Amino acid sequence: APPAAVTDLYTPFWEYAVKVMKERLPDLGPYPIPEGYVHKEAMTGKGKRAALVTTDAYAYQTPKLRQIRAAHVQGGAALQVLNYVIFPHMNYRIPFFGADLVTLPGGHLIAIDMQPLFHTDEYKAEFYDAFKAVHAKHQAVLPWGGDFPAEAAQFFSPCFLWTRTSGDEAIQGPVFDAFKDYLHTYLDFVDAAKPVSDPAEIEAIKASHKAYLTYRAEKDPARGMFLRFYGEEWTEEFIHGFLFDGLVALEQGYTPPVAASA
C-alpha cells in the first residue's frame, strides 16, 4: 500500500521560516492580529466525513517590513494550506515575498515567488537576474503548474516557482529546498534595502502595493473555502482586516515610518 498521506506537511515550513527570521531579522517583533482571528475552528462534512478544520494566524513586523503574516489551514491529509506573505514598508523598492502552499484532494499546488513592484528592466536586473539560475534549478525538478488566472500574471516575477504535483515527497524534498532558497534570497534583499526618500518614488511604490493588495483581497482563491467553513463575517474580516490589511492602512492615511538611519 502507498504510504499514508502526511496530515501536517507545512508546519516544518513555517517553523523553518520563523527560525530563520528570528536569526536574520534582529528587530523582529509581533504584529497585531485582530481579536478573535488568531485561531479559528469549525467542523465540516457529515458522518464519517466529519472533520475539524483549523486556521491559525501568525504575524510579525520589523522596521523595514510592514507586515509578515501567515495563515495555516489544517483539515487532514487532503486539506492543508500555508499562505505566507511579507509586505515591506512602502519606502522600500524590494518585492513582496509570497508563498501559497496548498494541498487539496486533487494534489498539491505550490506558488513561491518574490513578487515584483515594477516590471522595468532595471527592476528585473536588480532583483531577479542573479536568481534566475536558482529558479531554473528548482523548477526543473517540479512539473510546471500550468494555467493560472491571466490577471495574476502581472504579479509574478521571472522567478515564479509554480507547480502542481502529487506525492508528499515532492513537498518535503524539492519544494522545501526551493522555499529555503527563496526565503534566504529575500532576506538578503531586506538586509541590503535602503529607504527611498523621493516622494514621487514612494507614491509609485504605494500605487504598486495598492494594486497587489486589491487584486489579492478581491480574488483570494481561499474565499470560497473560508466562507464554507467559517461564514461571511469571519471570512471578510480575515481577508480585509488581516491577510491584506495594507489596503485599510492606505485608506487610513498610512505613511512609511521615517528610517532611523539610512
Under the binding rule (CB under 6 A), the answer on residue 100 touching ligand DBV is yes
Q: Which is nearer to ligand DBV, 25 or 225 (CB)?
A: 225
Cα–Cα distance between 262 and 64 in angstroms, integer?
11
The one segment of 130-138, 144-152, 168-176, 187-195 that binds ligand DBV by CB under 6 A: 144-152
Closest by CA to 34, choosing from 256, 249, 245, is 245
225 binds ligand DBV (CB under 6 A): yes
Contacts 24+ apart (CB under 8 A), 84-87: 84/13, 84/14, 84/17, 85/243, 86/186, 87/209, 87/246
Among candidate residues 100, 89, 18, 20, the one with its CA nearest the CA of residue 59: 18
Q: Which three cell numbers stand for residue 214?
A: 486589491
Q: Is 83 a binder of ligand DBV (CB under 6 A)?
A: yes
- Our finding on whether 220 is near ligand DBV (CB under 6 A) is yes
Given the C-alpha cell 509581533, which residue does it identify? 30
Place of cell 491577510: 243
Closer Cβ to ligand DBV, 92 or 238, answer by number: 238
- Binding of residue 171 to ligand DBV (CB under 6 A): no
Per CB under 6 A, the segment of 16-24, 41-49, 219-227, 254-262 that binds ligand DBV is 219-227
Indicate the residue among 83 and 185 with the shorter CB distance to ligand DBV: 83
Cell digits for 231? Answer: 461564514
> Site for ligand DBV (CB under 6 A): which residue of 28, 152, 249, 250?
152
**Which residues have C-beta within 8 Å of that of residue 23, sequence separation ≥ 6?**
none
243 binds ligand DBV (CB under 6 A): yes
Q: Is 108 in the site for ligand DBV (CB under 6 A)?
A: no
Which helix H or strand E contains 24, and what residues bound it? helix 11-24
Note whether 126 binds ligand DBV by CB under 6 A.
no
Residues making contact with ligand DBV (CB under 6 A): 71, 73, 81, 83, 98, 100, 102, 109, 111, 148-149, 152, 155, 216, 220-222, 225, 243
